[in-house]
């Protein structure tokens, strides 16, 4: 998952990626996500849970790195 903070707050994403091989991507703009929450709330909730898991894991990793650097 790339650029998920922009999906949560509608701000411009800061992520950039480069692929070494061909790939398929799925883009979900903020406005489309807002519509999804209204039209398909169960699907939007699943997206929200997935985002929360990714962001939680990244935050735990950042916390661990901070502790390591402070030691």
- Quick: pLDDT tens for 5-51: 787 778 877 777 888 999 998 888 889 999 999 999 999 999 999 99
What integer pLDDT is reported at residue 40 of this predicted model? 96
Overall domain count for the chain: 1
Extended strands (E) in 1-71 = none
What integer pLDDT is reported at residue 3 of this predicted model? 77
Domain that holds residue 29: 4-70
- Helices 30-39/41-70 angle, 10° precision: 130
Burial class (CB in 10 A: 0-12, 13-18, 19+), 37: middle
What integer pLDDT is reported at residue 27 of this predicted model? 84
**Does position 1 have pLDDT exceeding 80, yes or no?**
no
């Amino acid at each position: 998952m790339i650029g998920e903070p922009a999906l949560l707050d509608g701000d411009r994403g800061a992520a950039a990626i480069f692929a070494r091989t061909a790939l398929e991507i799925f883009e979900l703009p903020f406005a489309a996500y807002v519509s999804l929450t209204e039209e398909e709330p169960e699907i939007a909730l699943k997206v929200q849970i997935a985002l929360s898991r990714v962001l939680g894991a990244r935050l735990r990793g950042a916390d661990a790195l901070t502790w390591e650097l402070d030691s």
